[in-house]
Amino acid sequence: MLNLCTICENSDGNKSIILPFCGFVVCYEHIEYLAKKFKCPVCKTHEIDKDECLSMRNNLKKIDFIKQERLKEIGKNPETFINNIFTQLINDVDIKREKLMMMFEKQINDYSQQLINELQKHKKNLTAELKHKMEDFEENKDSIKALIECVENMKFYEGQDLITFKIADYFGRVNFAKLVNKDCCLVDIESFELKSKLKVKNNVKVKNIDQFETGEILVFGENYIIIINEEIRQILKEIKLYANVECARVFNNNEFLCGLKSGHVKIFNKNTSEIVSETEIPNNERVYALELWSNKVVVLSGCKIRVWDPSLNKWIFELSAIRCGSDILMINSNHLLIYEAKQIDVFDLSKKRSLKSIVDREIVDIDKINDEEFISVHGLGFYKIWCTKRLECKIKCDIQLWKIQNVIALPNYRFLIYSEEDGITLWIRNESVYSSQLKLDKSISSMMLLRSGQLAFFNYSSELHLLSQ
């Protein structure tokens, strides 16, 4: 009776989920497709965080069982599963084709009709002018001759060569199933092996890694931007800039952002390497960090947070920040976290104000867990999990790692921590002993878990290492 679903009275205990606070039991299918935060479907008196709900100890076992059952169902008829996915993808492509054909057909018809209307109008005006001048030929013969030559030289000029038409930029792309989930990293990092190694030209010291949704890896260092194809493991582009790059990141599928030491922020087209939009920081202040706020760009420069709208090429507003040299991170849709070694500040960009500031010790790196929490790692050998709204520490765990440099938050309340002494370790929330470890021969400068599930990192010899199970 304990596992009876309160909504449909189903009695399958293996698929029943306990709702937090009220303790009612419901089938997983009733909450599977609800938003990250939803009103309790039973008592309707409180809000439930889906991640917290599913991470409860009793529910985790059920979720694992449900996932296994789903895999078994797919295994019974994999062809139907694949067909359903690809039928939808092919349908999406067909719909896009029809929309573009209609859009371009209308634009072509409208433009051609506009040219014809202008020609008809010009024809009428020229005919009237020529008739008028012919009435007194001797007096107007020079101007008549010039007018006739002008008409004879009129010509229709072809447009640009179609080679310059980037159809993929208009139509869109398919990720071809290379963007899988990262669950392979949630169990055993020790089983990861080196799959490929790629040396970056010019010995550029890579400072950070980012990735487009289409799979290409974006890295930067000194005055170079480098784009790498993860699938074929080759460098696609090397873009040299004539100023030091302080920060760079993906802006959208076709564009990336650069913050330059010279006090400029630029958006580049990924395919053509051309500048799409650019702006200059007031007083040419040095750019320290970039973040995205919807379709706007948040810039940390000097002791200011500035928000730039590229579509208007306009600075929207600015706020006073902590001392320069800090890092920034959007931890939900409107809240911006600014941190450095001794301080954390939270700003609400929608309200254009600072919410709270706290002093802490030896903050090395921070990553977002979800909209409500973030994790920080500290040089003194511990990590903390924080409540975003209250900027209060919920959990502090001594992990006895030294020379910590990076943390990456994973799904299901796990995270990777890199330290120079212990390599990359996999941790489970609330535990003070890592569950698995990947030892490294050389120190690394930056790392990222790619959308494919591969672990990418650069060492100080400017080599990209790609590892997976």
Q: Out of 30-34, 173-177, 205-209, which region has the weakest mean confidence (pLDDT)?
A: 173-177
With beta carbons less than 8 A apart as the criterion, state whether 402 and 176 touch: no
- At residue 319 the predicted structure's pLDDT band, cuts being 50, 70 and 90, is very high
Residue 48 CB contacts under 8 Å (≥ 6 apart), including other chains: 19, 20, 21, 31, 37, 38, 39, 40
Query: Does the structure show a pLDDT above 50 at 420?
Result: yes
The pLDDT of residue 8? 87
Q: Taking all residues of the chain, what is their mean pLDDT, rounded to a whole number?
A: 86
pLDDT (mean) for 212-219: 88
The pLDDT of residue 268? 94
* Greater model confidence, 381 or 242: 381
pLDDT (mean) for 291-313: 91
C-alpha to C-alpha distance for 78 and 87, rounded to whole angstroms: 14
For tokens 């990359």, name the residue: 424
Query: Does the structure show a pLDDT above 80 at 465?
Result: yes
C-alpha to C-alpha distance for 315 and 307, rounded to whole angstroms: 6
With beta carbons less than 8 A apart as the criterion, state whether 187 and 459 touch: no
Query: Does the structure show a pLDDT above 60 at 406?
Result: yes
Q: Out of 384-388, 430-434, 465-469, which region has the weakest mean confidence (pLDDT)?
A: 430-434
The pLDDT of residue 386? 94
The pLDDT of residue 230? 82
Provide the residue type at 459 as one letter: N
Query: Does the structure show a pLDDT above 90 at 210?
Result: yes
CA distances from 394 to 367, 384, 386, 412 (A): 15, 7, 5, 17
| Nearest one of 460, 445, 461 to 209, comparing CA atoms | 445
Q: Which strands sit side by side in the sheet containing 296-301, from one edge to the other?
A: 287-293, 296-301, 304-309, 314-320
**Backbone torsion region of residue 244, taken as left when φ is above 0, otherwise alpha when ψ lies between -120 and 50, otherwise beta:** beta
pLDDT in tens, 421-446: 899 999 988 878 888 899 998 899 88
| Nearest one of 456, 455, 457, 459 to 189, comparing CA atoms | 455
CATH number of 241-359: 2.130.10.10
- The DSSP string of 378-436 is ETTTEEEEEETTTTEEEEEEE----SEEEEEEETTTEEEEEETTTEEEEEETT-SS-SE
For tokens 């903390």, name the residue: 384
- At residue 168 the predicted structure's pLDDT band, cuts being 50, 70 and 90, is low
With beta carbons less than 8 A apart as the criterion, state whether 286 and 301 touch: yes
Q: Out of 228-232, 256-260, 384-388, which region has the weakest mean confidence (pLDDT)?
A: 228-232
pLDDT in tens, 349-378: 999 999 998 999 899 999 999 888 999 999
Residue 87 CB contacts under 8 Å (≥ 6 apart), including other chains: none
For tokens 């071809």, name the residue: 176
What kind and span of H or E run contains 130?
A: helix 78-134
Residue 465 CB contacts under 8 Å (≥ 6 apart), including other chains: 194, 196, 197, 456, 457, 458, 459
What share of the chain has pLDDT > 70, as a percent? 93
pLDDT in tens, 246-283: 999 999 888 999 999 889 999 999 888 899 999 999 88
pLDDT (mean) for 366-393: 92
- At residue 1 the predicted structure's pLDDT band, cuts being 50, 70 and 90, is very low
Query: Does the structure show a pLDDT above 80 at 340?
Result: yes
Query: Does the structure show a pLDDT above 80 at 456?
Result: yes
Residue 354 CB contacts under 8 Å (≥ 6 apart), including other chains: 319, 320, 345, 346, 347
Query: Does the structure show a pLDDT above 70 at 457?
Result: yes
Helix (H, G, I), strand (E, B) or coil at 57: helix
Query: Does the structure show a pLDDT above 60 at 181?
Result: no
With beta carbons less than 8 A apart as the criterion, state whether 372 and 394 touch: no
C-alpha to C-alpha distance for 336 and 349, rounded to whole angstroms: 7
DSSP 448: E
pTM (predicted TM-score): 0.66
Q: What's the residue count for the chain?
A: 469
What is the rounded end-to-end Cα distance, in angstroms, of the chain?
Answer: 43
Query: Does the structure show a pLDDT above 50 at 408?
Result: yes
* Greater model confidence, 439 or 164: 439
Q: Out of 97-101, 103-107, 200-204, 206-210, which region has the weakest mean confidence (pLDDT)?
A: 200-204
Q: Which strands sit side by side in the sheet containing 423-428, from one edge to the other?
A: 404-410, 414-419, 423-428, 436-438
The pLDDT of residue 175? 58
Domain boundaries, the chain: 13-76, 91-157, 241-359
- At residue 211 the predicted structure's pLDDT band, cuts being 50, 70 and 90, is very high
